[in-house]
C-alpha cells in the first residue's frame, strides 16, 4: 500500500530564534522504521522523490529542506549557515519523527550531517549512507563549488534556469529530461518580479569566499561505529578514489561506485536506488 507524499514543517531553534523548516514525508506515517534523506549544499529534499518511492513500502521516508534551502526559511544571521546548526536542526527533526532509531541517507553535505550525527554518543543513527562524500574533502572540489555557490542569479524562464542547472550539475550524470525539469522546478522559486531564482539563500556561499583549503574530518569519521555504505561517482572530484578505498577498510563499511557519474550521484537511477535499498532493507 502506498501513501501520498505529505508536506510538513517544524521549528528549529538557534541562538537567534526559531526557524521554519520544511520537509516532505512518504510511506505509512505509523511505520516505526524511519529513513531520513538529506540533500547536498544547494539542493532540497525533493531530490529524493525517486528513492522515496522505492523505499516507501518499507520505510517512513522523511526528506527535509535544510535551513536556507527549498521551502525552509532563510536565516537572518548568515554566519549560522554551518554544520553545528544543521546537526541540531536534524536532531530536532528526529525528535519530531518520534523515532527511537533512524537510518540516514545523505548526499554530500547531507552525508556529512549524517556522519556528525552518527559520531555522537547515544546516536539514533542505525545505518548510514554517505553519498559521494567522505572525511577528506579536497581543495579542488571546494574551489569548483566556489565558482557558482552563492551567486544570486535571475532567470526569465524555467527553461533558462534549467539550462543553468544542467550546466553546473552536469556531473550528476545522464539524467532524463523529466528528472532535469524536476530538479529545476523544485530547485527554484518565482520572485515578486516574476523572475526565476534558485531556491536557496545566496548567503550559504559566504564560507566559499577567499582561499579554500583541504578539509580533514578523520577524527569524526573514526567515531562512527554503525554500518556505513559509501557511494561514489567514478568521476567524483569531491570523494577521491583514495579516500573511498580508505573508508572501505573501516569495519562494517561497504562501498559501491557508479560509472559515468561525478559529484554527486542523484540516486534517481535504478542501479543507484537498488544499491541503497539493498543496504538499508535488511
Name the helix (H) or strand (E) containing 20. strand 17-26
Residue 210 has pLDDT above 80, yes or no: no
Q: Nine-digit cell at 9?
A: 514543517
Tell me the pLDDT tens digit for each residue of 35-51. 999 999 999 999 999 99
1 pLDDT band, cuts 50/70/90, is low
Here the CATH number for the domain that contains residue 72 is: 3.40.50.1820
Q: Is 244 left (phi over 0), alpha (psi -120 to 50) or beta?
A: alpha
The predicted model scores a pTM of 0.96
- DSSP assignment, residue 74? P
| Full residue range of the structural domain in which residue 76 is found | 6-137+216-280
In a domain, 148, yes or no: no
Residue 152 has pLDDT above 80, yes or no: yes
Tell me the pLDDT tens digit for each residue of 61-107. 999 999 999 999 999 988 899 999 999 999 999 999 999 999 999 99
In a domain, 164, yes or no: no
In a domain, 150, yes or no: no
In a domain, 189, yes or no: no
**How many domains would you assign to the chain?**
1
Distance CA 21, CA 63 (A): 11
In a domain, 133, yes or no: yes
Tell me the pLDDT tens digit for each residue of 7-41. 999 999 988 899 999 999 999 999 999 999 999 99
In a domain, 170, yes or no: no
Bridge partners (DSSP) of residue 240 are none
In a domain, 182, yes or no: no
Residue 182 has pLDDT above 80, yes or no: yes
In a domain, 205, yes or no: no
Q: What is the pLDDT of residue 236?
A: 97
Arithmetic mean of pLDDT over the chain: 95
Q: What angle do CA 149, 119, 228 make, to 5 degrees?
A: 80
Distance CA 186, CA 70 (A): 7
Amino acid at each position: 500500500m502506498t501513501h501520498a507524499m505529505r508536506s510538513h514543517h517544524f521549528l528549529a531553534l538557534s541562538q537567534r530564534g526559531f526557524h521554519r523548516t520544511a520537509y516532505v514525508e512518504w510511506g505509512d506515517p505509523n511505520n516505526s522504521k524511519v529513513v531520513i534523506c538529506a540533500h547536498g549544499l544547494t539542493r532540497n529534499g525533493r531530490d529524493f522523490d525517486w528513492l522515496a518511492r522505492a523505499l516507501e513500502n518499507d520505510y517512513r521516508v522523511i526528506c527535509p529542506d535544510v535551513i536556507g534551502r527549498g521551502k525552509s526559511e532563510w536565516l537572518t544571521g548568515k554566519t549560522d549557515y554551518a554544520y553545528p546548526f544543521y546537526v541540531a536542526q536534524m536532531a530536532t527533526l528526529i525528535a519530531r519523527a518520534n523515532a527511537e532509531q533512524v537510518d540516514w541517507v545523505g548526499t554530500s553535505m547531507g552525508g556529512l550531517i549524517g556522519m556528525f550525527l552518527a559520531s555522537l554518543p547515544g546516536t539514533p543513527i542505525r545505518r548510514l549512507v554517505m553519498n559521494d562524500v567522505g572525511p577528506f574533502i579536497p581543495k579542488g572540489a571546494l574551489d569548483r563549488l566556489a565558482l557558482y555557490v552563492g551567486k544570486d542569479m535571475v532567470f526569465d524562464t524555467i527553461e533558462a534556469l534549467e539550462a543553468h542547472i544542467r550546466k553546473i550539475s552536469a556531473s550528476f550524470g545522464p539524467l532524463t529530461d523529466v528528472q532535469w525539469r524536476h530538479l529545476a522546478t523544485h530547485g527554484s522559486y518565482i520572485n515578486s518580479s516574476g523572475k526565476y531564482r534558485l531556491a536557496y539563500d545566496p548567503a550559504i556561499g559566504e564560507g566559499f569566499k577567499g582561499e579554500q583549503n583541504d578539509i580533514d574530518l578523520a577524527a569524526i569519521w573514526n567515531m562512527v561505529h554503525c554500518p556505513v555504505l559509501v557511494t561514489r561517482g567514478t568521476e567524483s572530484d569531491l570523494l577521491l578514489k583514495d579516500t573511498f578505498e580508505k573508508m572501505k577498510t573501516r569495519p562494517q563499511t561497504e562501498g559501491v561506485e557508479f560509472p559515468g557519474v561525478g559529484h554527486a550521484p542523484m540516486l534517481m537511477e535504478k542501479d543507484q536506488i537498488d544499491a541503497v535499498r539493498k543496504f538499508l532493507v535488511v
